[in-house]
């Protein structure tokens, strides 16, 4: 697990797009094993970050909290 990714649910104010993208970047770095990908992998790396960030936004928006 990525220990440097902080929990974004339940924050006041809600997590910003910047915080969500940072968490997505950390996740992609961990899964891929690259801190910064080679030029030939840059597009795939960035696409994964954006997809995970979008998925995270949807998840946070749909969670029901107490």
pLDDT for residue 30: 94
DSSP string over the chain: --TTSPP-TT-SSPPPHHHHHHHHHHHHHHHH--SS--HHHHHHHHHHHHHHHHHHHHHHHH----
Asked whether residue 39 is domain-assigned, the answer is yes
The 10s digit of each residue's pLDDT in 24-64 is 999 999 999 999 999 999 999 999 999 999 999 999 999 88
- Rounded to two decimals, the pTM is 0.84
The CA distance from 45 to 48, in Å, is: 5
Asked whether residue 51 is domain-assigned, the answer is yes
- The parent domain of residue 46 ranges over 34-61
Q: Are 5 and 23 in contact (CB under 8 A)?
A: yes
pLDDT for residue 19: 93
Asked whether residue 10 is domain-assigned, the answer is no
Residues in the chain: 66
Asked whether residue 19 is domain-assigned, the answer is no
When divided into structural domains, the chain yields a total of: 1
Asked whether residue 48 is domain-assigned, the answer is yes
Asked whether residue 24 is domain-assigned, the answer is no
């Amino acid at each position: 697990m990525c220990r440097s990714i902080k929990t974004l649910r339940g924050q006041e104010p809600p997590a910003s797009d910047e915080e969500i993208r940072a968490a997505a970047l950390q996740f992609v770095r961990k899964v891929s094993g690259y801190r910064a990908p080679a030029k030939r992998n840059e597009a795939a790396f960035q696409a994964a970050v954006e997809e995970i960030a979008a998925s995270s936004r949807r998840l946070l928006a749909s969670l029901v909290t107490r």
